[in-house]
Amino acid sequence: MLRGHRRFHPLPLSACIALLAACATGSSTAGSSAAAGSTGAGSATPAGAKPWFVRTGFVAPEAVRYDPDQDVYFVSNWGTGSASATDNNGFISRMKPDGQIENLRFIAGGSNRVVLHAPRGMYIVGDTLWVADADAVRGFDRRTGQKLANVDFSELDRGFLNDVAADASGTVYVTDTGRNKLYKVTGGPTLVVSDSVLGAPNGITWDAANNRFIVVPFGGHKGIRAWAPGATTLTDIGMSTGAKYDGVEVLSGGGVLVASQADTSLHLFSGTAGRSIIHTLGPPADIAVDTKRNRVAVPVVALNHVEIWELPR
Rounded alpha-carbon distances, angstroms, from residue 260 to 22, 45, 167, 300, 305: 10, 16, 24, 12, 17
Query: What average pLDDT does the structure give for the chain?
Result: 88
pLDDT digits (tens, 9 = 90+) for 250-285: 999 999 999 999 999 999 999 999 999 999 999 999
Q: Which residues of 247-276 are buried (b: 16+ CB within 10 A; e: fewer)?
A: bbbbbeeebbbbbbbbbbbbbbbbeeebeb
pLDDT digits (tens, 9 = 90+) for 234-252: 999 999 999 999 999 999 9
Residue-level pLDDT at 48: 65
Residue-level pLDDT at 270: 95
Q: Indicate the CATH number of 13-310 among 2.120.10.30, 3.30.70.100, 3.90.70.10, 3.30.465.10.
A: 2.120.10.30
Neighbour order of strands in the sheet with 223-227: 201-207, 212-217, 223-227, 235-239, 273-279, 265-270, 256-260, 245-250
pLDDT digits (tens, 9 = 90+) for 9-35: 344 444 444 444 444 334 455 543 333
Whether the pLDDT of residue 38 is over 60: the answer is no
pLDDT digits (tens, 9 = 90+) for 163-178: 999 999 999 999 999 9
Q: What is the mean pLDDT of residues 89-108?
A: 98
Residue-level pLDDT at 14: 44
Task: Give the span between the Cα atoms of 233 and 158, in whole angstroms.
Answer: 21
* Percentage of the chain lying above the pLDDT 70 cut: 85
Whether the pLDDT of residue 308 is over 90: the answer is yes
Residue ranges per domain, the chain? 13-310
Q: What is the band of 233 on the pLDDT scale with cuts at 50, 70, 90?
A: confident
Beta carbons of 64 and 73 less than 8 angstroms apart: yes
